[in-house]
Structure 1
Amino acid sequence: MKSIKLLFILFILSFVTIGCFEDLDDNPVSTRDLNDFVWKGLNTYYLYKDNVPDLANDRFNDSEYESFLNSFSSPEDLFESLIYQRPTIDRFSWITDNYIELQQQLNGTTYNNGMEFGLVRFSSTSSEVFGYVRYVLPNTDAENKGLQRGLIFHAVNGTSLNLDNYRTLLSPNNYTINLATYNDNGTPETDDDSIEPTNQSINLTKTPYTENPIFIKQILEVDNQNVGYLMYNGFTRDFDSQLNETFNYFQSQNIQNLVLDLRYNSGGSVNTAILLSSMITGQFTGQTFATQQWNSEIQSQIDPNDLIYNFTDNDDGISLNSLQLAKVYVLTTKSTASASELVINCLNPYIDVVQIGGTTTGKYQASITLYDSPDFSNSDINPIHTYAMQPLVLKTLNTVGYTDYNNGLDPDIIASENYGNLGVLGNPDETLLAIALQHIIDTGRISLQPYSNMEVVGDSKDFTLTKNQMYVD
C-alpha cells in the first residue's frame, strides 16, 4: 500500500476535458460494468467494509460475483445495498452520474440564484414547511431582486411547501417563491405562531456561481475589547489564502476574542479545517489535531505516523497568521456539519470552545472521490461514463479519542434564531452574536436563552452534491 500522503495526492481534484466523453453515446457502459466499479471501490476503501458481509474479500467466487452484480438493475441500487446503517451511521456516502458537476461543486461552484435559505416546520407532527432567507449572496439574481435576510416564503410556483415536495419545487434553475409574513401573535412561545401568505411573489433564476465562504469579517468594540467576528460558510480550498489574509486583518486589529460563526457551514476540506484551527491558535504547531481511522484492511497497511493530522504554521510554505487564542466562541445550528464539527471537536482538548446555538449535524467521517479508473483516482478514468462515488472512507478522532458523535455536538449555551425577527448578520444585536458578546462582557456568565422547538428540515445546500461533506483533498 502506498503511503497515505501519496494516496491523498491521487485524489486531488482536477477538471477533465470534454474530449474524453466524445464516445459516451456510441459506447454506452453496461450496468454490470458500473456495478463492478461500485463493488470494487467500496470493497477497497469503504470505512464500514468490515460491517457489510457482501463487501468481504472472500464473499463470492467468480460465478457468484457475476450473479450478484447482475442482480442489481442500477449502480445506485447496488451502492445503497452496501451502505452500513443508512438512517443512523452512514447518512452521508453517495454516488453521482455526473462527476464533472461534483468537481465544480468541490471547488465552490454551483448553480445558484443567491438565496441561501432554511426550511422549517412548526412541529415534528406537521408536514407543512416554510422557508426563510438566511443570507443573500452578492452579485446574484436574489440580490438584484432585492431579497434580504428574514424574508419568509410559504410556496413555490403557487404550490404550498411540504416535506414531500420541497426538493422537487426548489430544484429547478428557475422558480417563483410566494411570500408570507411570520406572525408570533405577540408571545415568545412558538406553539401559537403562524405563517400568513401574502399576494407577493419573486421569480429567481440560478446561474453558475462561486461562493466566497468568507461572508463577513469585522471588528466589534465590546467593553473596551476588540472582538473579531467571522461568518465562514464553507471550507473551500480555493479561498484558503483569503482566509489567511482575514486572520492577518484580525492580528493587525489586536483582537482579544473571536466569534466564529459556523451556523450555516456544512463542511468541506479537512485541510482547510486544520488551517483554520491553526490560525485560531498557533501555539500547538506539530501537535496532534486529529487522528484518522480507516477500515481494518487499509488501517493495517498505513504507517501510524501517516494517520495523524497535526496543527501547522504554514500552508504549502506560506506562513499562517495565527491569533494564539485560548478561547473561541463558535455559533452553531443543525446546519453546522462535518469540517465545522471537526474544528470544534479537535480544538476542544486544547482551548476553551464556547459553543452557542443549536446541536450540530453529527458527521465525524470524511470521504474521497472514487472514479472508475485502475486505482480509483482521476487518472485514466473510463471515458464512456461519468459515474463517481463519494463514500465515507475514514472517521476522525480528536487528540483524546472522542468521535462517533452521531447525534451532533451539543452547545454550551442553547439558543435558536427567531424566524420572525432574524436580525442582521454581524450586528451586535443579532440573537446568537449578542449572546456571545454578552458572554464576553460578563466574563463567562451563562443565562437561559430563548429557544424554539421548531425543526429545521432542510436548507439550500441540500440541492448541492457536497452537502455535509468533509473530504480529503
Structure 2
Amino acid sequence: MKKSVWIFLASLSFIILLLPACKQDEDIVSPLTTDDVSGDHTADNAQNDLLNNWIYEVMSSYYYWNEEVSLPDSSGEEPEDYFYSLINDADEFSYITDDYEGLMEEFSGVYSSMGYSPAFGLLSASNEVFIVVEYVYPDSPADRAGLERGDIILAIDGETLNTENYYELYGQSQYMVTLAAYDEAEGINPTDQTISLFAEVIETDPVLYKEVKTAAGKKVGYMVYTEFISGENEEWLNNLGSTLDEFAQANVREVIIDLRYNPGGEIYTAQYFASALAPVNVVNSEEVLVKFDYNTLLESSIVAYEGDDSENLVSKFVSNGHNLNLSRIYFLTGSGTASASELLINGLKPYMDVVMIGEHTVGKYYGSWVIPDLAEPARHDWAIMPIVLKYTNAEGVTDFSEGLTPDYPVEDNLLDAKPFGDESDPLLATALDLISGGLSARLKSRESFKPYQELGNPLKIKKNKLFIDDSLVPEIE
C-alpha cells in the first residue's frame, strides 16, 4: 500500500499527502524525523522511546493544539499512554493504533467482514447488551446466511452479551448468533433461531439502496448511503454518479438522502456528492463548500508553499458531469450520522433549502490525518490520527458540538426497523409527507421512541473521519 497521510474530519473522511520535508525555519513546520534511539534501555524501552519520539514530532508539528504538546520522558513510557497524555480536553477524536495496514483496509471499503452493520443497545436496569442489525450488504456472508435489517442478536456462541464481553464476542471472525424477538410488553427475549456467520473479504458499495418513488405526482429519488468512500479505482464514486444520473433520467425533482448510519468518509467524495446535488450556478461559480483552519505553524506552512487558495485550506464545488440542480434536499439523520455526512449537510446549507429529518447528528467538525511512519523502510506499523484542523461552511458555521439539529425530530427505533424504502418508516414517511405538501396528522402516531440506551461502536468511531484524495494535494518540497 502506498505510504501517505490520510486526512479525516473527525467524522469526515479525506486522504491527503503529508506535507514532507519543509525548510528549517522557525515559522515553518519541521519535517517528521526521529533520531536513532540509544542509551541503556531494554529492547522494549528502546522501541517505546522511538515510538514516543515519533509521536512527539508528529503532534508538536501537526496537532491542532500543538502548543500544549510536551516532550516524552526517558522511562520507556507505553506509546498509547504517552499519546493520550497529550490530548486536549476538547479532543474526543484523536486515535492511535499499532496496525496501520489493517486500519487502511477498514477505510478502503474492501476488508474482512461478515457484512452487517451492528448497533449496540443496553437493556434498561441491567448490564445485558443486544445487537440490532442496521443493514446488511448484498451477497455478504450475513446476507447469504439470512440475516436481515432489524434482526436482534442476544447471544454469540451461546454466551449472553453484556457490557464486559459484547465487542470482543462480536469482533471474532466466526461465530453463531442467537436471535431474539422484541415485544413492547415483554421486552427482548431469545428465540430458538440461530445463524452461523463467517467473515470474508467483501466489497462494501456505499450506495446500499436506491429507488425512485412518487409522492403527490412528484418523482422522488431515495438513496441509502452508508459511507463516503470512492473505492480503490473510484468504482464506488462512479456508482454514486450513475445513481444520480438515474435519478436525473427519471425526472426526479425531489431527493431524499438517508445518512442515518453513515459515520463519514472522504472529503473528495463529499465534495463530489455536494457538487452533484447543488444548484448548477453554485457549482459553475465554484463557490466555497468548506474552509479549513489549522494550528498557526501548519497553516503558515501551507500558505507559504501552496498559497492562500490551497485546496488544503478550502474545498469548493467542482463540476463533475453529474448535477441534479436541486433547490431543496432532504436528509434523514441518526445519532451516528457524522463527519463527512455533517460536512455535506452543513456545506450545502448556505446554497439551498436543506431539510433534516430524524435525530441530532454526532457533532464532529474537527479533522484528522492518519499518519504512519514515513521512514523508508518503515520502523514500525503504528499510525496516529491526531486532530489537525477544524472546518466551517461558507457562512462560518462550526462548533456544533451537540450535533446538527433536525428540522423535524423523529427517533430511529431499530427495534421496530422497517426495510429500506418502506413508506411506514417514520423518517421516510415524514419526508414524503413534506414533499406531498405538508405534514399529515399521522406524524404523531408514527413517532418512535427508543426503549434502550445506545452503546458506542468502536469501528464506526474510527471511521468518524474525513479523507481527501491525495492526488489533489501537491507535495511541498
TM-score interval for Structure 1 and Structure 2 normalised by the shorter chain? 0.7 to 0.9
Residues 57-100 of structure 1 deviation map (CA, whole Å, 9 limit, x = unaligned): xxxxxxxx5xx342353211111111112xxx322211111211
Retained in 2: the 8 A contact 1:264–1:333?
yes
Q: Distance in 2 between matches of 1:234 and 1:48?
A: 28
Query: What's the counterpart of residue 276 of structure 1?
Result: 273
Q: Distance in 2 between matches of 1:159 and 1:406?
A: 37
Q: Distance in 1 between matches of 2:212 and 2:376?
A: 48
Query: What's the counterpart of residue 435 of structure 1?
Result: 430
Offset, 1:131? 1.3
User: TM-score w.r.t. structure 2 length?
Assistant: 0.82
Query: What's the counterpart of residue 218 of structure 2?
Result: 225
Offset, 1:467? 2.1
Query: What's the counterpart of residue 119 of structure 2?
Result: 118
Q: Which amino acid aligns with 2:152?
A: I
1:136-215 paired onto structure 2 within 5 Å: 136-185=136-185, 194-215=187-208
Query: What's the counterpart of residue 317 of structure 2?
Result: 311
Q: Distance in 1 between matches of 2:394 and 2:118?
A: 35
Q: Distance in 1 between matches of 2:299 and 2:177?
A: 49
1:420-459 paired onto structure 2 within 5 Å: 420-443=415-438, 447-448=443-444, 450-453=447-450, 454-459=452-457
Offset, 1:126? 4.6
Q: Aligned pair in 2 of structure 1 residues 290, 259: CA closer, same or farther (>3 Å)?
A: same
Q: Distance in 2 between matches of 1:395 and 1:255?
A: 35
Q: Bigger CA drift: 336-345 or 419-428?
A: 419-428
RMSD: 2.3
Query: What's the counterpart of residue 52 of structure 2?
Result: 35
Q: Which amino acid aligns with 1:397?
A: T
Q: Distance in 2 between matches of 1:234 and 1:464?
A: 10
Q: Distance in 1 between matches of 2:197 and 2:258?
A: 27
Retained in 2: the 8 A contact 1:330–1:354?
yes
Tell me, yes or no, if structure 1 residue 468 matches structure 2 residue 432: no
Q: Which amino acid aligns with 2:315?
A: Y
Q: Which amino acid aligns with 1:367?
A: S
Pick aligned residue for 2:246 from 237, 244, 249? 249
Q: Aligned pair in 2 of structure 1 residues 366, 148: CA closer, same or farther (>3 Å)?
A: same
Tell me, yes or no, if structure 1 residue 267 matches structure 2 residue 273: no
Give the structure, 1 or 2, with the largest relative contact order (CA under 8 Å, sep 6 or more): 2
- Contiguous gaps of at least 5 residues in structure 2: 1-6, 8-13, 20-42, 470-477
Query: What's the counterpart of residue 66 of structure 2?
Result: 49
Offset, 1:438? 1.0
Q: Aligned pair in 2 of structure 1 residues 419, 310: CA closer, same or farther (>3 Å)?
A: closer
Query: What's the counterpart of residue 343 of structure 2?
Result: 342
Offset, 1:199? 2.5
Offset, 1:305? 1.9
Offset, 1:122? 4.3
Q: Distance in 1 between matches of 2:213 and 2:78?
A: 54
Residues 432-454 of structure 1 deviation map (CA, whole Å, 9 limit, x = unaligned): 11111011112467954514143
Q: Distance in 1 between matches of 2:198 and 2:326?
A: 43
Q: Which secondary structure state, in structure 2, belongs to the residue aligned with residue 284 of structure 1?
A: helix
Residues 210-240 of structure 1 deviation map (CA, whole Å, 9 limit, x = unaligned): 2000111210011111000111101002211
Q: Distance in 2 between matches of 1:444 and 1:153?
A: 35
Q: Which secondary structure state, in structure 2, belongs to the residue aligned with residue 300 of structure 1?
A: helix
Q: Bigger CA drift: 295-304 or 110-119?
A: 295-304
Percent of aligned positions that are identical: 33
Offset, 1:148? 1.2
Q: Distance in 2 between matches of 1:126 and 1:280?
A: 45
Query: What's the counterpart of residue 473 of structure 2?
Result: none
Offset, 1:251? 0.9
Offset, 1:157? 2.0
Retained in 2: the 8 A contact 1:182–1:419?
no
Q: Distance in 1 between matches of 2:453 and 2:275?
A: 34
Q: Distance in 2 between matches of 1:168 and 1:93?
A: 22
Retained in 1: the 8 A contact 2:359–2:412?
no
